[in-house]
Structure formats: structure tokens, C-alpha cells
Structure 1
Amino acid sequence: MEKDGSQDIAAEIFAQEDPIFRNKSLVEVEHVPSPERIVGRDDEIRALSTELRSAVNGDSPENVILYGETGTGKSLVAKHVAKAAKSNAGDVRIGTVYVDCSTDDTETQAISSIARTLNDEAVTDIRVPETGLAKAAYYTRLYAILDQQYDVVIIILDEADMHPDDQILMSLSRAVETGKTDCRIGLIAISNKVRWAEDLNDRVKSSLQPRELNFHSYDANQLRAILSHRRDAFREGVLSDDVVPLCAAYAAQDHGDARQAIDVLRNAGMLAQRDGSNVVTRDHVEDAKMEAEKDRFRDLIGGLTVQKKLVLSAVTALHKGTDDDEFSMAQIIETYTQLCEATGTSTRSDRRVRDFVRRLAFLDILELRKQNLGRAGGITIYARLQPDHDLDIVHQTAMDDEQFVVADSDAENASLDSF
């Protein structure tokens, strides 16, 4: 009987040795490196360890807020120090749990996740369903778990600012004081927003009494060292000499984001793999950087309404079609109206368009400038794309929306060519 040709093709591909990657997990963004691979964060590790030191003696650790830009090692350091506290605790029973508040974005979801992670049902005989209980019931089961299993717990709340209120911080920080549990609880709240701690409710700040640690962006040398520690993700000789420095330089120019540097390095390897190349080159890095920028703006712009995307497209079209550096609201409204006609989309009032522009500025996509033209002219608002955004990428991403409805496709193609 003759074999299925498609099965032969798949089997042949699966049997091949990966020519680029030896251990791809080392360049996955969520990978937590071993201590010797952590670069440029000795001071932060020392400071956080000092705040949590009392935990290894069975006493209450300090509550800490870590803040700084994305990709500056906050989550990495928090996980590393919490793990080290647990492994150095001797007879003290320390539990650690990490919660991503961008996923568990309600208090009930977060408490349910904490309870399920810390619970050993064989020890406690307590069942914690993922859903279906009231918030108070999840808290009750959590405290029962803590009392049966632990002397101290360290709870990491990553992206804690994603919660609509601060109640979880209040409840957990006061649990011992209010007699809910005898287990000592230490909170590590992580935020990308530098001023988040200042905006906390006064009662929460009084209860939490947090220490604050600021994580500065990585510089190019630190990023180069971080990537060098992950070179063994690739096979020997696969990376050309300029790949790691270029990935580090790109990330340093933007925000000193280690995640971005790692992401570009990994994607460069994947592009080389798809090209059938045995070497990752500068061209692969540049293409990966472009793809990373597109992905970032797809995430940022993807949630915008069609109307906001049209307003953004009007601004980028003006940038592409003129030599001007910024544009008046009248110019934006005129171009927006033309785009609506070209895409068959209904227009909104001038006032709504101005609101959309302000919203895009709030999201750091656009930059606004006000100019007072006197009694005759009043105040005029000028807008432009934020200077560190890639014009072509933003324009393409904003214009790429299946919700644009056009009655005559030939007219659409002819009209959109001019934008």
C-alpha cells in the first residue's frame, strides 16, 4: 500500500534537526533564568532580599512595591528573591505565589488563583474551584489553607495596577491584624506606572506601608550581557558577530527593555530558520525588529474602534503626504472625512474627532500641542505621531481593519491608493 505523501513530508520535517536552535526555551520571554544569568540587578536583588529577610525567621516580611518600565527585570527579581527566601527558610514553612493581574484582573479571580496555587488538597482537604464561589468564600478558604500549611507566604502581584481598585492590597495586608489568619503575609506589588503608588487610597497606603524600589532601564552593555548569557539557546556558530550587539542596541534606543531584546533575538533566529539559513544575520535582526514593532502596534491599536483608527490613519496619511511636522485639527478632520468616504464609513462630528485625537494622545500614540492665536483665532490644537513611533508601521496597522465597509470595491482601491 502506497504511503500518504503528506505524511511523508511531515515526518521528514519533524525528523530534521533544528539548524538554528539548540535550546529555544532560553530565549522565550517567560523563561526565568538561573541566578548566574541574571544581569545588572544585583542592587535590586540585595534591596528586595533585605525587605523580605524577616520571612526566613517566621516573621512578617515588609510589603514592597516594585515599579519601572516594562522589561526592566521587576518580575524576574521578585520571583528569584521569593524562591531564594523559600529555599533558605530552614524549618519555617514559606509559600510563594505569583499572580498576573492582567489575567486575573478582578479581586475574586486573583484570590481564587492564590488559593488554588498555594493549596495542597491532600494536606488541607480543602477544595478550591476555579469559579463559582463568592469572593468572601474564596478568602475564607485561602486563610484556612494558609493556617494549615504555612508560617509565611510571599504573594507577588504583577501588574497590580490592572485591578480597578486597591481592595486586595487592603484585605491581604490586614489579614493578620484582623484575625483572619495567623500566617504572615508579605506582598510584592509590581507596576509599570511610576506614580501608581502615589495614587493608592490613603487607607491602603496606611495599611500596606510599602517600601518602594525603582527599577531603571537597562543600558546597551547590560542588554548585551543579558543576550550573551542566552547565546547557548542557539547552535554553535549560528549567530553572526553583530547579531547580539544589534539586538541590544535596538532595545537600548527604545526603552532599555530586556524583553524586547530577547524577543528580537528569538524572532531573528526563527526568520533564519524559515529562510533555510544556517546563520542568523544582521538582516534577520532588522526584519525581526520590524515585525516586533508591528506586533507591538497591533496590540496597542488592535483594541481601538474603527473611528479611532480612521482618525489615526488621517494623521499618518498627512505625515506621509506632506512635509509638515504637525497638523491642525482642521487638516485632520478634512483627511479623516476623505478616509471615511474612501472606506464607506460614516463620519462623526468634529467634536467627536477632537475627542478621538485626545484619546490617542492619552495612549501615547499622538503628541499634542496647543497654540493660542489670540482673540481672533482662539486656541488651536496641533497633533503629530509620537516621534519614537515608526510611521509606516503605524499607518499600515491602523489601515488594516476588516471592519472598514466599502460599497464599491473598485472605488475603494482607487481611493485608498492615495493614502
Structure 2
Amino acid sequence: MADNEESDGGGDSSITDQQLDDFDTNRGDSSASEISSATKEIQRSEPNDPANDPLFIREGDEDGSSTPIWADRDLLSIGTVPGPDRIVGRDTEIKSVAGEIRHLVHESQPNHVVIYGETGTGKSLVSRHVSDRLVDTATARNVPAASIYVECKKNNTETRVARTIARALSDKSGSGIEIPRVGLGSAEYYDYAYDIIDEYYDGLIVILDEIDMVDDAEGLLHELSRAREAGHTDAYIGIIAISNDIDFGQKLNARVQSSMRTTDFIFEPYQSDQIEQILEYRRDAFQDGVVQDGVITETADRSADEHGDARKAVDVLRIAGDIADDNDAEVVSADHVDKAVKRAEINRVKETIESTSPQSKLVLYTLGRLTGSNNRRFRTSGIYSQYETTCGDVGADPLSYDRVSQILSTLALMGISESHQIGGGHKQGVYLEHQLIKDKDVVMKAVVESDERLSELHNGTYEI
């Protein structure tokens, strides 16, 4: 590089010649790791080094390993599968599920399992934990096996599930087979999967999380449960299907019920002491001493009272830590938990409405705007009148009265609002009244953050 040339990062961010000379003087006696460390130290000393952009890196956490609040934030991530010493209150369920699929380690057909329960009751956690241990045991006994986890909410058709299975098998086996993301049907993806299975494995466990979200769940289950019998593969395939719908199994047709012959389990919600222990096992996500006394107990108690959902409890604790960290607090306090509970509820409402139409958001916003502290009900006609005003505020064309009435019914089905049929008295007929069942401020902040037009109307945010 010529003396007057700049590096790709710009002259201000480059290491000076003098720094490099000083660095080279002592280089001969340094190890490769020491050289790498010294190079990074020189880079960090530069005032305009992007590695220390103050927009993202705060004073004191330049090494990137931790912050004054966090030691290992990933321990509170939803996707993290904890080790066996961190799984709480599910010993019986672990043994029961293992008992149904254990036959695979003896090169025999495992039983198919359906696990029911509300969200956050450990269904996915137990399934993945047991399956991973099964694969380890089978492999150690010279029975090549694999487990595949499919999130059916995102892969909600048989073709998408088949594609996910095939691509995951290709990655796990190291087959090097390039499987197209698009352009194939379920049959072609199954063929890819069966070819890989027969080449590399004697057994496979497929975990289908939220199986009830798949459009053709019956076709999927029938295909996988009969794969060996139909001659598609010589391997044994076991299915662990997970559903929040307790009636899912009863809705399957007789053909699928016959081929599956499942063993069913129901996971009950966690109790307060179990949630507290789950959170305690993740305390080391924080720096020593930053979580104030009573914070974990309060988080557990509130979670048990409201839903018994361990996943939501972990999420609240993570958000509380983030709030404390964002505000440069020295500790995580009960006040941070209060704010985290509200933030978590806002996030859940946003997830619920993210797939709704822009007009549905305007209708929901209108209902929230009408709702006062007494949270009284509103007739469809009153909501529609205010909805037209909302459309004018954001420059949208209003839908018909009947279409708005349908949207209100849909919002009720989503659990955000509820509708009541009211008798209008003598010669007044029957009409519907609607009201929010979620906190007004939570709904308003969620819908404003979900719609750019509404966000602009509130200058970027809705303050609670």
C-alpha cells in the first residue's frame, strides 16, 4: 500500500506506522494469541474505531464479554436449552417420554408421543432434552441416530416441514447435498430426507412443535409414521408431536390415529416454587449481587398467579435486566420487574396482531382510543363513527360498517377484546357491545408500535 493511501476502514481508524513499529519490536518474543490481543488493543485505542462505537458499546464493556448487569445474557434467551441440572419440576415427564422412545437405542421402533399443555409448561424443553440424550446413547451404542426439531408455527405447511427436516438432516449428517429452498413439493423433500436417513442413520426422532399449526397435519403425520412400513426408508422414525390444543388428537382421522397409535401426556402449568427455582438456576446470567433480594420471588409469584408459564417468567426477568442495563442502574429491582411485566405484555400483543391487516390495527386503535379508565363497552355504531375519524387522521380509506364489524369479531377471537350481545329493550332489537380485555395502555402502545402511520400520529411512540 502506498504511503498516502488509506485502508478500507478510513484513515482515522487505521493503525499508525509508529504503533506498528513499536508492536513489531517486541513481536519476536510473543505468541500468536498475544499478538492478536495486542493488535486488538491498538485498534481499540483509536478514538474512531468502529469496534468501540459508543452507540452500541458503553464505557466499561469494551471487551464485549459482559456489562455491569449482565454476565451471560443468553441464559435467559428463549431458545436456550438448559443442561439437565437446570431443568425443574419435570423429572417424571422426562422419564415418561424417554420410556416411550427408548426402543430406538435397541434398533427397534420407538412409540409416537403427543404432548399437550399450555405454553411455557416445558413441553419443548423436555422433548429436546430427552431426544438429545437418546441420540447420544444410541450413537454410543453404535446405532447412528439423529433428532430434528421443527417449529411448526413458522413451517405451517407439510411442504415446509418436509423441507426443514431434509435440510436439517443434510446439515447434521454433513452429506453436502444442496437442497433447494423453493421449487419442490413435499414428496421431493421427503425423498431427499429418506435418502439421507438411509445413508447415515438407523433411527430418527422428529419433534413437531405446535403441530396443530400445520395446514395438513394429518398428511404429515401419516407420511412420517408409515415411512418404514411403506418402504420409504429402512430406519426407525419416532414422532414427538407437541400441541396446546388438548383436543388435537381427537380431531385426527381414523387412518392417522391407527398409524400413529400415540401415547399422550399432559404437562400441567408450573407452580410458583418451581418457577422460582427455574429463575434461580438462571441467576448467573447476571453479575454477582446485582439482582436485589425478592426480585426473583416476586417474578415467580406474579407469573404463577397470572399464567404458570415459565417461558414468560424467564422473559420478564430478561427484560427487567435489559431495562436496568439500559438505564445504567447498578441493580435489578422490583421496579424494573414492574416495567418488564408491562413490556412483556406489550410484546405479546404485538406478536398477536403482527399478522393482522393495517385496517384491523386501525379498528383496534379506535377501540383503545375510546376506552377510558372505567373500560366501558361500546356499540359497533359508536366504534365505527370514531374509526372513520381515525382513518381521516392517518389518511386511510375507511372500510364498510359490516367489514369493521367482522374485524371486531376477529379481535375477540384473538383474545384482545370481547363482544357481548345486548337486548335493546322493547322495539330496540339486539346489538353488540365491544370492550378491551387487555390493559388499554398495553394495547395502545403495542398497536402504535406496530403501525407506522399510528406511530407518526403519536410522534414516534405512545407513552404509558
Which residue of the other structure, out of 15, 30, 35, is the alignment partner of 2:63?
Answer: 15
Change (3 A) 1:126 1:310: closer
Change (3 A) 1:79 1:141: same
Which residue in 1 is equivalent to 2:111? 62
> Is 1:402 equivalent to 2:452 in the alignment?
yes
Asked whether the equivalents of residues 316 and 395 of structure 1 are also in contact (C-alpha less than 8 Å), the reply is: yes
For 1:336 and 1:123, the matched residues in 2 are separated by 56
Change (3 A) 1:141 1:399: closer
Q: Deviations over 1:136-158 (max 9, x none)?
A: 22222221222222222111111
Deviation at 1:191, TM superposition (A): 1.9
Which residue of the other structure, out of 315, 327, 333, is the alignment partner of 1:281?
Answer: 333
> Secondary structure, in 3 states, of the residue corresponding to 2:431?
strand
> Is 1:371 equivalent to 2:422 in the alignment?
yes
Which residue in 2 is equivalent to 1:151? 202
> Secondary structure, in 3 states, of the residue corresponding to 2:206?
strand
Q: Residue type of the partner of 2:106?
A: N
Q: Residue type of the partner of 1:81?
A: V
Change (3 A) 1:374 1:165: farther
Which residue in 2 is equivalent to 1:44? 93
Asked whether the equivalents of residues 375 and 436 of structure 2 are also in contact (C-alpha less than 8 Å), the reply is: no
Change (3 A) 1:136 1:378: same
For 1:177 and 1:375, the matched residues in 2 are separated by 67
Asked whether the equivalents of residues 422 and 431 of structure 2 are also in contact (C-alpha less than 8 Å), the reply is: yes
Instruction: Give RMSD over aligned pairs.
Output: 2.8
Which residue in 1 is equivalent to 2:43? none
Q: Deviations over 1:188-247 (max 9, x none)?
A: 111222322232233222222222211221122111110001111112111101211122
Which residue of the other structure, out of 315, 321, 343, is the alignment partner of 1:263?
Answer: 315
* TM-score after normalising by structure 1: 0.88
Asked whether the equivalents of residues 306 and 403 of structure 1 are also in contact (C-alpha less than 8 Å), the reply is: no
Change (3 A) 1:357 1:130: closer
> Secondary structure, in 3 states, of the residue corresponding to 2:441?
helix
> Secondary structure, in 3 states, of the residue corresponding to 1:265?
helix
Change (3 A) 1:375 1:110: same
Q: Residue type of the partner of 1:338?
A: T
Change (3 A) 1:138 1:398: closer
Asked whether the equivalents of residues 176 and 183 of structure 1 are also in contact (C-alpha less than 8 Å), the reply is: yes
For 2:173 and 2:228, the matched residues in 1 are separated by 25
Q: Deviations over 1:326-368 (max 9, x none)?
A: 2222332233233333333322222112111111111111112
Change (3 A) 1:313 1:56: same
Deviation at 1:369, TM superposition (A): 1.8
For 2:396 and 2:74, the matched residues in 1 are separated by 45
Which residue in 2 is equivalent to 1:75? 124
For 1:158 and 1:274, the matched residues in 2 are separated by 34
For 1:199 and 1:69, the matched residues in 2 are separated by 18
Greater mean deviation of Cα atoms: 367-376 or 273-282: 367-376
Deviation at 1:120, TM superposition (A): 7.0
Q: Residue type of the partner of 1:307?
A: Q
For 1:124 and 1:264, the matched residues in 2 are separated by 41
**Structure 1 residues not aligned, in runs of 5+:** none
> Is 1:5 equivalent to 2:47 in the alignment?
yes
Which residue in 2 is equivalent to 1:102? 153
> Secondary structure, in 3 states, of the residue corresponding to 2:427?
helix
Change (3 A) 1:94 1:399: closer
For 1:338 and 1:101, the matched residues in 2 are separated by 40
> Secondary structure, in 3 states, of the residue corresponding to 1:376?
coil
For 2:426 and 2:238, the matched residues in 1 are separated by 59
> Secondary structure, in 3 states, of the residue corresponding to 2:289?
coil
Q: Deviations over 1:228-273 (max 9, x none)?
A: 0111111211110121112212322332111111111112112222
Greater mean deviation of Cα atoms: 261-270 or 221-230: 261-270
Change (3 A) 1:237 1:173: same
Q: Deviations over 1:162-205 (max 9, x none)?
A: 22112211111111121111211111111222322232233222
How many residues in Structure 1 have an aligned counterpart in Structure 2? 407
Q: Deviations over 1:47-71 (max 9, x none)?
A: 2112112222111111111122221
For 2:419 and 2:123, the matched residues in 1 are separated by 31
Which residue in 2 is equivalent to 1:294? 346
Which residue in 2 is equivalent to 1:246? 298
> Secondary structure, in 3 states, of the residue corresponding to 1:227?
helix
Deviation at 1:20, TM superposition (A): 1.5
Change (3 A) 1:271 1:373: closer
For 1:124 and 1:304, the matched residues in 2 are separated by 40
> Is 1:304 equivalent to 2:365 in the alignment?
no
Which residue of the other structure, out of 202, 219, 222, is the alignment partner of 2:254?
Answer: 202
Asked whether the equivalents of residues 170 and 176 of structure 2 are also in contact (C-alpha less than 8 Å), the reply is: no
> Is 1:186 equivalent to 2:238 in the alignment?
yes
Which residue of the other structure, out of 389, 407, 419, is the alignment partner of 1:356?
Answer: 407
Structure index of larger Rg: 2
Asked whether the equivalents of residues 375 and 435 of structure 2 are also in contact (C-alpha less than 8 Å), the reply is: no
Which residue in 1 is equivalent to 2:374? 323
Greater mean deviation of Cα atoms: 258-267 or 2-11: 2-11
**Percent identical:** 38
Greater mean deviation of Cα atoms: 131-140 or 215-224: 131-140
Asked whether the equivalents of residues 344 and 404 of structure 1 are also in contact (C-alpha less than 8 Å), the reply is: no
> Secondary structure, in 3 states, of the residue corresponding to 2:247?
coil
For 2:143 and 2:113, the matched residues in 1 are separated by 21
Deviation at 1:105, TM superposition (A): 2.9
